[in-house]
Amino acid sequence: MDSDLEVLPSVESLTKRAAQHFVALAAAAIDDHGRFAVALSGGTTPKQLYACLAAPEWLACVLWPQVDVFWGDERCVPPAHPASNYRTAREALLEHVAVDPERVHRIHGEDEPDAAASAYEHELRAAFATPAGPPRLDSGARFDHVLLGMGDDGHTASLFPHSPALHETARWAIAGAAKAEPRRRVTLTLPVLNAAADVTFLVAGRVKAPALARVLEGRRDPDDLPAQLIAPQNGHLHWLVDADAASQLRRR
């Protein structure tokens, strides 16, 4: 794994940089193996990225019919629920681009969580032609791009501190529980996330500064700081952060 940190002066410049990165990865993946498999993040930070990619000047920059859209995690709510990560991305991005609806692979938050996790794993395995066994690292058989956020407690996706999901080594998706409502979640697991070709954290805001400093420069404590567990085996890890989130980092 190689990793890098980019500190952008504002959320606006962070958003533009993330959009440039998304577009570049999509073009490279489609050129290499004919499709771009991306896992979108939940939460509020990526909303500006989704709106940017849906803007007229960016709309044609991605060959959307060649994109397979997944999510890193989902809240166990119906798809029209305000807290749904699917709804957030649908409204801000997917309704505005020429993505093939058959290639939008949402997690069924309306279903019983364990069943939704199993169904999602089945869909992932089909998309990556890996009917059994661990995720593969071959180009085209894994995520080309995974977008992740980070909570102010160091969680990412729905991998929360001290949760059993942190130690899952076989299943690709698993049901979990958050402290904040909606508590029931479904999340990708570390084997899938760490098989990706590119994992990019988008972190913004002063509220994230203490956790970001602990994750990047503090003692290794992955059970308490799950974001420390993200380490693509044969891929790139990028931290795209704004100056506020980076304000407690020693290195810049």
Cα first-last separation, the chain: 20
| Span near ligand 6PG by CB under 6 A; candidates 1-9, 43-51, 137-145, 164-172 | 43-51
**Selected binder of ligand 6PG within 48, 156, 163, 200 (CB under 6 A):** 156
> How many of the other CB atoms lie within 10 Å of CB of 54?
16
- Rounded least distance, CB 50 to ligand 6PG, Å: 12
* Nearest residue (CB) to ligand 6PG, 35 versus 53: 53
Q: Which is nearer to ligand 6PG, 73 or 198 (CB)?
A: 73
Single out the residue of 48, 52, 53, 73 in contact with ligand 6PG (rule: CB under 6 A): 73
Size of the site for ligand 6PG (CB under 6 A): 15
Q: What are the CA-CA distances from residue 212 to residues 8, 41, 65, 203, 225 (Å)?
A: 15, 17, 36, 8, 10
CB of 82 to ligand 6PG, least distance (A): 13
Max CA distance (Å), the chain:
46
Q: 195: which residues sit within 8 A by CB, 6+ positions away?
A: 134, 135, 136, 137, 142, 143, 232, 233, 234, 235
Question: Rounded CA gap, 24 and 16, in Å?
Answer: 12
Answer yes or no whether residue 163 interacts with ligand 6PG by CB under 6 A.
no
Site string for ligand 6PG, 133-152 (x = CB under 6 A): ----------------xxx-
Task: Decide: is 85 part of the binding site for ligand 6PG (CB under 6 A).
Answer: yes
Q: Which of 19, 36, 37, 42 forms a contact with ligand 6PG (CB under 6 A)? A: 42
Q: How far is the CB of 9 from ligand 6PG (least distance, A)?
A: 19
By CB under 6 A, residue 48 contacts ligand 6PG: no
Backbone angles phi, psi at 8, to 5 degrees: -105, 145
In 60-153 the beta strands, taken as DSSP E runs, fall at 67-71, 73-75, 145-148
Phi, psi of 200 (to 5 degrees): -125, 120
CB 141, min distance to ligand 6PG, A = 24
Name the 3-class secondary structure at 146: strand
DSSP state of 102: G
Distance CA 141, CA 51 (A): 28
Closest residue by beta carbon to ligand 6PG: 149
| Cα distance between residue 237 and residue 193, in whole Å | 11
Which residues within the stretch 220-249 sit at the binding site for ligand 6PG (CB under 6 A)? Answer: none
- Which listed residue (94, 99, 157, 237) binds ligand 6PG by CB under 6 A? 157
Residues that bind ligand 6PG (CB under 6 A): 41-45, 72-73, 85, 149-151, 155-158
